Structure 1
Amino acid sequence: MEHLISKYLINDLTREEEVKLKSWLEEDALNRKVFENIVADWKLSADEILTSKSAVLDRIVNSATPSHELPKERSLGAFDYLIRVAAVMVLGIGLYLVWDATNSAETSHVATQEVQIEKEAANGQKLTFELSDGTIVKLNSGSMLSYPKVFSESKREVTLVGEAFFDVARDESRPFKIKSGEVNVQVLGTSFNVRSYPDAEQIEVAVKTGSVSVESSFSESDVVLVPDEMVVYTTGSNFFDKKRIEDSQQVFGWMDQALIFEDRGIKDIIKELSRWYDVKFEIKRELDYKKAFTARYKNPTLKAVLESLSYAYDFEYEIDGKKVIIK
């Protein structure tokens, strides 16, 4: 059929040939796509190319004179030569476009894996979303997760700043790896919490289900955690303090709007409140930074927390929009 397409390109089809070409185009939707691909640079989709490019090439080649019919010998005139050259060009263009579309589809798949997405839970917010592999992520206030739009076939890697809870979809062929500050966390399928704020001196990893491997960026040695275990890493020390989780609410409670302070200093508490309520503090008086504070709240208002803190640390406060003045 390539000789008819060649004649179509040079506008030299007879009425009979036009009917024959039209019949071939209407015979199969794939025929029309091949035709359009050649004459109008129309590209097949990736799936169609992968499943039918062999059939396309066979149809183009086999549409020539059948092998058992010997062509009549005749001299090759200038017009016939032009048609044959055009046919070769058409076949070459068709093969190139099929190759180009296939190559473009493969490039597109790789490019999709390289696209990085950043999800951020601003101060005062919490986010829950799903990754391409089915992993569920819950971001705490003031946190950000960077991850590829589509994970590769060999690995799943994300980068965390702040705090997040992961419920990882199990895939033994592709471990799930989290890079967070000076700590790397690797799992196959489990649920756990990572707390790693840039302004904090410690990074915490706590396991709810399954098992987790935690290692420092400065060492190849790792710590393996099982359910109800956690590890506290002091930045810059390359030291892991592994311990049992005595109070799961203290670690995982933030997902249920539980605000818990256990022997915390006012400096850390102010940082936590700044993220939780998206406010900034202006301190106009001296505070006892060595004094520890313990309290539990369930979905509290900022005013309720400040009331109890004001009694404990003996200060007055004023809430002015997104600013808290301690005086």
Structure 2
Amino acid sequence: MDKEVLILKWLNNNLNDKELEAFKTLEDYNELVNLNSSLQSFKADNYDVSSELENVLSTIKGTKKQPKHWLNPLMRIAAILAICFSIFYYTTTLDTTISTKFAQKTTIELPDASSVALNSKSSLIFNKKDWKHEREVELSGEAFFKVAKGSSFKVKTKTGIVTVYGTQFNVKQRNNYFEVICYEGLVGISYNSREIKLKAGNSFLIINGEIIAKEKEKQSIPSWLNNSSVFKSLPYKMVIAEFERQYNVGITLIDIDPEQLFTGSFAHDNIDIAIQSITLPLHVTYSKSNNSITLKRE
């Protein structure tokens, strides 16, 4: 559910238990609660509408010397309207944050009809109000973008900034890992004061701060969109981390070098087949217990 919808439902005391838990996970949760608490002191006292109306009518008929009887209710209403407007303005100018959990993927449509497919354990932040002036998102994790043609489109990550004008590309930013693959159009990457341009089929990869050369991309879309993770000469620890994200499990390695390179793949829809895909090539045994998996060298 969109962030703004959660906030508005919360203001109306209309959240169910599931929505309330989602609201509590918002990064602005504490600020919103504090703001609401502060606004409570400005709320008008409850009053009987019928009684107040009679007072107003009798006052108008009797005398106009003391306007307090009709002025106070109007001032109360005006105060309430001012507070509601302030809350509405505050909530509509907030950033929208979309996050996925372990073993979860989602697709987002941006205000300009651009679409973003978000991989598991990732988040995307953008501002609807400023979108016409600046098409910009912040990404943590992995996402595939189909950008509608228009003004400059930027994807900000902790490692670098990706700039495009209408294209399809994938961005993955994890711990000590940053990769951009261009599938269509032209992509520009700002990294350490450098500007790198990628044409369709080209990619840019950094692992532990080192730029890694890659072969030309032959696929038309990222493998994860087809529920599969593919690896080419990548450290085994990165394979394990991706497996944990896709299946929401914890994996422990025993007598296994996490830096050894792995080439292979695993599917996202069958954990038993997937675990064999990442253990058999390395002659590794495994054992499962609930949401924990232990891998051990034979």
TM range (shorter): 0.5 to 0.7
More helix by share: 1
- Is the 8 Å Cα contact of residues 201 and 218 (structure 2) preserved in structure 1? no
* 1:180 and 2:157 are equivalent in the alignment: yes
Q: What corresponds to 1:147 in structure 2?
A: 126
Summarize the Cα distance change of 1:222–1:142 in structure 2 as closer, same or farther, 3 Å threshold. Answer: same
Distance 2:126 2:278 in 1: 38
1:109 & 1:215 partners in 2: Cα distance?
36
Q: 1:112 to 1:208 in 2, by over 3 A?
A: farther
Q: Which amino acid aligns with 1:135?
A: S
1:70 maps to none
Distance of 2:127 and 2:281 partners within structure 1: 46
Letter in 1 for 2:118: L
Alignment deviations for residues 53-107 of structure 1 (CA, whole Å, 9 cap, x no partner): xxxxxxxxxxxxxxxxxxxxxxxxxx9xx79xx9xxx9xx9xxx8xxx99x97x7
Correspondence 1:309-320 to 2 at 5 A: 309-320=278-289
Alpha carbons 2:268, 2:274 under 8 Å: kept: no
Check if 1:264 corresponds to 2:244: no
Match for 1:295: what amino acid?
G
Aligned partner of 1:192 in structure 2 is 169
Per-residue deviation, 1:155: 0.6
Amino acid at match of 1:258: S
* Aligned partner of 2:195 among 219, 222, 231: 222
Give, in whole Å, the separation in 2 of the partners of 1:236 and 1:310: 28
Report how far residue 148 of structure 1 moved.
Answer: 1.7
- The share of aligned pairs that are identical, in percent, is 25
TM-score by length of 2: 0.65
User: Could you say which residue in structure 2 is the equivalent of 1:20?
Assistant: none
- The match for 1:156 is 135
The 2-side partners of 1:247 and 1:166 are apart by: 17
Q: Which runs of 5+ in 1 are unaligned?
A: 1-6, 14-78
Gaps of 5+ in 2: 1-55
Amino acid at match of 1:142: K
Per the alignment, residue 185 of structure 2 pairs with: 210
Alignment partners' CA distance in 2, 1:191 and 1:178: 13
For residues 264 and 58 of structure 2, the distance between their equivalents in structure 1, rounded to whole angstroms, comes to 82
Residue correspondences, number: 234
Distance 1:242 1:294 in 2: 15
Are the aligned partners of 1:195 and 1:204 in contact in 2 as well (CA < 8 Å)? yes
The aligned runs of 1:1-327 (5 Å cut-off) are 11-12=60-61, 111=90, 114-172=93-151, 175-197=152-174, 199=175, 201-216=176-191, 218-219=192-193, 221-234=194-207, 236=209, 245-248=216-219, 252-283=222-253, 285-289=254-258, 291-299=260-268, 301-327=270-296
SS of equivalent to 1:269: helix
Deviation at 1:164, TM superposition (A): 0.2
Q: Could you tell me how far 1:157 is from its partner in structure 2? A: 1.7
**How far does residue 261 in structure 1 lie from its aligned partner after superposition?**
2.1
Q: Which has the larger radius of gyration?
A: 1
Change (3 A) 1:235 1:214: farther
Q: Name the CA distance, whole Å, in 2 between partners of 1:232 and 1:279.
A: 27
Q: Which residue of 1 aligns with 2:33?
A: none
Q: How far apart in 2 are the matches of 1:316 and 1:234?
A: 27
Secondary structure of the 1:316 match is strand
Q: Give the Cα separation in 2 of the matches to 1:130 and 1:225.
A: 24
Contact 2:247 2:268 in 1 (8 A): no
Report the Cα distance in structure 1 between the residues aligned to 2:179 and 2:284, rounded to whole angstroms. 31
- Going from structure 1 to structure 2, the CA distance change for 1:230 and 1:264 (only over 3 Å counts) comes to closer
- For normalisation by structure 1, the TM-score amounts to 0.60
Q: Secondary structure at the match of 2:166?
A: coil
